[in-house]
Amino acid sequence: MAKTVATNSLFDDRIGAMRTQLSFTHLAQIETELLAVLATDTQTAKGSDAKPEPALLTTDDGVKTAAAAVLASGEYKAGDNEALLLHAPAGLAAKRLLIVGLGKQAKLTVHRVRNAAGTAVRFTKPRGIRELALALPESDLLPADLCARAIVEGAVVGDFDPDTYRSDRKDQSVQSFTVAAPPGSSIATLEAAVTEGIVIGESQNFTRSLVNEPGNKLTPTVLGQRASQMAHEVGLTSAVHSTEKLHELKMGAFWSVSQGSEEPPALIVLRYDPEGVTEGPVLGLVGKGITFDTGGISIKRSDGMEKMKYDMAGGAAMIGAMRAIALLKPNVRVLCVVCAAENMPDGKAQKPGDVQTSMSGKTIEIINTDAEGRLVLADGLSFARQLGATHLIDAATLTGACVVALGMINGGAFSNDDTTYAKFETALATSGEKFWRLPLGEEYGELIKSDIGDIKNTGGRWGGAITAAEFLRVFAEDTPWIHLDIAGLAWVEDSKPHIAKGPSGVAVRSILEWVRSY
């Protein structure tokens, strides 16, 4: 009894061609190129003589028998992402059996399972194997629905590779992915979970495909086109404005970044208005969409500058989250504003010392033209408020200082409202993404007061992530607001067992869950 619940990605072949199914067949009877099962180390004793005790998270006798010898050998420890492949496993219909480790049983979470699914896919891809079935782990610690969803998310995310412009690129996507649930599982619950997992994983990959594009291919205009094409496909309202509209709205901060580029800016607006919802909150998602950041006149040093094509990752995260929102249909209104521009040095570029008047009317002294993200976001936040947002969340690759503070492990999070932030923390528990809340405060605000105008765009050497957030707070005004600094997370620097090196698609899942909490 195998059942297909969903097929190809909805559009854009760059997202991948993985087909996902749900099966309720006994594991031993599944005919597939590769059957994967998960294992934990159940050893609880500490000390050097404590031998690992790997245990499979399945009750299927066929699989247990097939794996018994290698598990007894002590060669396999079920460490985090530790993978072991057996060919022609005795008694199984599958051609290969892969065991993927989850680490210590005591540390078992749905998030480890998500990663293990990615690991299984990334183990499969380079071997030219196109078919993979992964056994839904059986454990009291893991709710089956959350687990099924996480597995599909992890598998879809794991299937993504960034080498889109290689002329000899071979698409090694896993074409058929099966979640193998124990016979007797609740079909409807798991079907819904798998469908959600596909939507979320593919939306994260959509974000990654945008972030991966180089600055010459993905200009602000092209980002606008990609967003509105997606909006059309999933049923969101969209509008993409440019220079004229920026002037009309008096977006002097946003325009000041764009004015030094030959490429016109794009003010991207997406709306999700569920039928019949006319009351309650309107959530405003605001994203930094700098398609390339040279630093402008305060130009960046050249080594590593190529990475600054990813400076639209916050905007791309919002666009990806909107895609997931459109498909999963939460009962709350959501609008999205992405401010896309290219930050270039030029005869027309803004200069340090210039004073800009933002949409809010507040004047900004430009100290450093490389602190451009906060400028475009300032007007983006004002615009989202004008459009009716009652709650705001922004995401941006905003500061190197945030990476210094938190490394590439946690993103920085800031908020002017504890109730709103509490909802975001709950969202993090579901998404598995890591953000660490950093403080705001008047003393930091003092550091960005300007002698000539209201506020300046840098606050000096220390606490740079916080003074940047304080700057944004001014434009969020009294609206409950969360700011996510994803500079350290938006790009995976070294490939990991479960995810390719390159754009991560971070924040899509957390923003989606935050939206769904309303």
Q: Give residues in contact with Zn ion (CB under 5 A).
A: 290, 293, 311, 373
Single residue of 397, 420, 430, 431 touching ligand BES by CB under 6 A: 397
Least distance (Å) between residue 507 CB and Zn ion: 16
Least distance (Å) between residue 372 CB and Mn ion: 5
202 is an interface residue for ligand BES by CB under 6 A: no
460 is an interface residue for ligand BES by CB under 6 A: no
CB-CB neighbours of 276 under 10 Å: 7
Single residue of 207, 420, 458, 510 touching ligand BES by CB under 6 A: 458
Q: How many Å apart are CA 27 and CA 31, to the nearest integer?
A: 9
Q: Which residues belong to the active site?
A: 300, 374
CB-CB neighbours of 188 under 10 Å: 7
Q: How many Å apart are CA 218 and CA 2, to the nearest integer?
A: 41
Least distance (Å) between residue 399 CB and Zn ion: 9
Q: Are 177 and 21 in contact (CB under 8 A)?
A: yes
Q: Are 474 and 362 in contact (CB under 8 A)?
A: yes
Tokens matching residue 148: 């099924």
178 contact choice in ligand BES, Mn ion, Zn ion, none (CB below 5 to 8 Å, kind-dependent): none
Cα 235 from chain centre: 21
Which residue is closest to Zn ion by CB? Answer: 293
Q: Are 514 and 329 in contact (CB under 8 A)?
A: no
340 is an interface residue for ligand BES by CB under 6 A: no
Which residue is closest to ligand BES by CB? Answer: 400
293 is an interface residue for Mn ion by CB under 5 A: yes
Tokens matching residue 482: 């969360």
Q: How many Å apart are CA 482 and CA 475, to the nearest integer?
A: 12
By beta-carbon proximity to ligand BES, the closer residue of 154 and 488 is: 488
CB-CB neighbours of 262 under 10 Å: 9
By beta-carbon proximity to Mn ion, the closer residue of 51 and 307 is: 307
By beta-carbon proximity to Mn ion, the closer residue of 20 and 294 is: 294
Tell me if residue 19 falls in helix, strand or coil: strand
Q: What is the DSSP letter of 264?
A: P
Place of tokens 């030219």: 128
Residues 359-378 that bind ligand BES (CB under 6 A): 368, 370-373
* Per-residue interface string for the shown chain with ligand BES, residues 286-305, x marking contact by CB under 6 A: -------x------------
159 is an interface residue for Mn ion by CB under 5 A: no
Least distance (Å) between residue 370 CB and Zn ion: 7
Residues 353-382 that bind Mn ion (CB under 5 A): 370, 372
Q: What is the dihedral of CA 248, 254, 257, 261, to 10 degrees?
A: -50
Binding residues for Mn ion, how many (CB under 5 A)? 3
Tell me if residue 99 falls in helix, strand or coil: strand
332 contact choice in Zn ion, Mn ion, ligand BES, none (CB below 5 to 8 Å, kind-dependent): none
CB-CB neighbours of 53 under 10 Å: 16
By beta-carbon proximity to ligand BES, the closer residue of 27 and 438 is: 438
Q: How many Å apart are CA 294 and CA 308, to the nearest integer?
A: 7
Residues 6+ apart with CB under 8 A from 180: 23, 24, 25, 27, 30, 35, 133, 134, 135, 136
Binding residues for ligand BES, how many (CB under 6 A)? 16
Piece of 240-248, 269-277, 397-405, 509-517 that binds ligand BES (CB under 6 A)? 397-405
Q: Are 508 and 160 in contact (CB under 8 A)?
A: no
Least distance (Å) between residue 242 CB and ligand BES: 21
Contacts with ligand BES by CB under 6 A lie at: 293, 311, 368, 370-373, 397-401, 403, 458, 464, 487
Contacts with Mn ion by CB under 5 A lie at: 293, 370, 372
